[in-house]
Amino acid sequence: MAKASLRWQCRRGMLELDFVLERYLDRHYDAADQTEQGLFARLLSAQDPELQLWILNGVTHPDPAFQPLIAKIRGI
Protein backbone atom coordinates (compact mmCIF):
# COMPACT_ATOMS: atom_id res chain seq x y z
CA MET A 1 0.00 0.00 0.00
CA ALA A 2 1.26 3.50 -0.80
CA LYS A 3 2.76 5.38 2.09
CA ALA A 4 0.33 8.28 1.66
CA SER A 5 -2.56 5.91 2.13
CA LEU A 6 -0.90 4.36 5.18
CA ARG A 7 -0.49 7.81 6.68
CA TRP A 8 -4.25 8.27 6.55
CA GLN A 9 -4.76 4.80 8.07
CA CYS A 10 -2.65 6.00 11.02
CA ARG A 11 -5.41 8.49 11.83
CA ARG A 12 -7.28 6.75 14.62
CA GLY A 13 -9.91 7.47 17.23
CA MET A 14 -7.31 7.82 20.01
CA LEU A 15 -4.50 10.33 20.22
CA GLU A 16 -2.24 7.66 21.73
CA LEU A 17 -2.53 5.52 18.60
CA ASP A 18 -2.14 8.50 16.25
CA PHE A 19 1.13 9.29 17.98
CA VAL A 20 2.78 5.85 18.00
CA LEU A 21 1.65 4.84 14.51
CA GLU A 22 2.77 8.08 12.87
CA ARG A 23 6.04 7.94 14.79
CA TYR A 24 6.71 4.50 13.34
CA LEU A 25 5.75 5.63 9.83
CA ASP A 26 8.09 8.62 10.02
CA ARG A 27 11.04 6.95 11.72
CA HIS A 28 11.08 3.31 10.69
CA TYR A 29 8.79 2.51 7.78
CA ASP A 30 11.10 3.52 4.92
CA ALA A 31 13.98 1.46 6.31
CA ALA A 32 11.80 -1.59 7.00
CA ASP A 33 11.92 -4.62 4.68
CA GLN A 34 8.89 -5.57 2.60
CA THR A 35 7.74 -8.18 5.09
CA GLU A 36 7.64 -5.64 7.91
CA GLN A 37 5.96 -3.04 5.70
CA GLY A 38 3.30 -5.60 4.83
CA LEU A 39 2.79 -6.47 8.48
CA PHE A 40 2.38 -2.79 9.30
CA ALA A 41 -0.34 -2.41 6.66
CA ARG A 42 -2.09 -5.48 8.07
CA LEU A 43 -1.78 -4.20 11.62
CA LEU A 44 -3.51 -0.94 10.63
CA SER A 45 -6.62 -2.89 9.65
CA ALA A 46 -7.16 -3.93 13.28
CA GLN A 47 -9.69 -2.20 15.53
CA ASP A 48 -8.50 0.58 17.83
CA PRO A 49 -9.09 -1.33 21.09
CA GLU A 50 -6.99 -4.22 19.76
CA LEU A 51 -4.18 -1.88 18.80
CA GLN A 52 -4.49 -0.34 22.24
CA LEU A 53 -4.04 -3.74 23.87
CA TRP A 54 -1.04 -4.79 21.79
CA ILE A 55 0.76 -1.47 21.47
CA LEU A 56 -0.18 0.54 24.53
CA ASN A 57 -0.94 -2.15 27.10
CA GLY A 58 1.79 -4.57 26.04
CA VAL A 59 -0.50 -7.58 25.55
CA THR A 60 1.08 -10.16 23.24
CA HIS A 61 -0.32 -10.29 19.69
CA PRO A 62 -1.81 -13.74 18.91
CA ASP A 63 0.44 -13.96 15.82
CA PRO A 64 4.10 -13.93 16.97
CA ALA A 65 5.16 -12.51 13.58
CA PHE A 66 3.82 -9.12 14.68
CA GLN A 67 5.77 -8.90 17.95
CA PRO A 68 9.01 -7.35 16.61
CA LEU A 69 7.02 -4.74 14.68
CA ILE A 70 4.88 -3.93 17.72
CA ALA A 71 8.01 -3.58 19.85
CA LYS A 72 9.36 -1.08 17.33
CA ILE A 73 6.07 0.84 17.34
CA ARG A 74 6.09 0.98 21.14
CA GLY A 75 9.48 2.61 20.86
CA ILE A 76 10.65 1.68 24.36
Partner 1 sequence: MALNKRRFDALIIGAGGAGLNAAIQLANTDARVAVVSKVFPTRSHTVAAQGGVNAALANVLPDNWHWHMFDTVKGSDYLGDQDAIEFMCREAIPTVYELEHNGVPFSRLDDGKIYQRAFGGQSQDFGGAQAARTCAAADRTGHAILHALYQQNVRARTHFFDEYFAIDLIRDDEGAILGALVMEIETGEPLLIEAKATVLATGGCGQVYRTTSNAHINTGDGMAMALRAGIPLMDMEFFQFHPTGIAGRGMLITEGVRGEGGYLVNRDGERFMERYAPNAKDLASRDVVSRAIVTEVKEGRGCGPQADHVLLKVDHLGEEIVSKRLPGIRESGRIFAGVDAAHEPLPVFPTAHYVMGGIPTDPYGRVIVPQGTGEEVVPGLYAAGECACVSVHGANRLGGNSLLDILVFGRAAGLDVIENLQEHKNHRPMNESSVEAAMARLTRWDQKGEGISIRELRDEFRKTMEDHAGVFRTEEIMGEGVEKLKALRDRLPEVRLHDHSKVFNTARVEALELENLFDTGIAIAYSALMRKESRGAHSRPDYPDRDDTNWMKHSLYFREDDRMDYKPVRTKPLTVETFPPKARVY
Q: How far is the CB of 76 from partner 1 (least distance, A)?
A: 5
Q: Which residue type, as a one-letter code, is found at position 11?
A: R
DSSP state, residue 64 = G
Q: How far is the CB of 58 from partner 1 (least distance, A)?
A: 6
Q: Which is nearer to partner 1, 17 or 39 (CB)?
A: 17
d(CA 65, CA 39): 8
Q: Which is nearer to partner 1, 32 or 52 (CB)?
A: 52
Q: Which residues make up the interface to partner 1 (CB under 8 A)?
A: 2, 4-5, 7-8, 11-20, 47-49, 55-58, 74-76
Write b or e for each residue in 22-37: b if 16 or more Cβ atoms lie within 10 A of its Cβ, otherwise e: bebbeebbeebeeebb
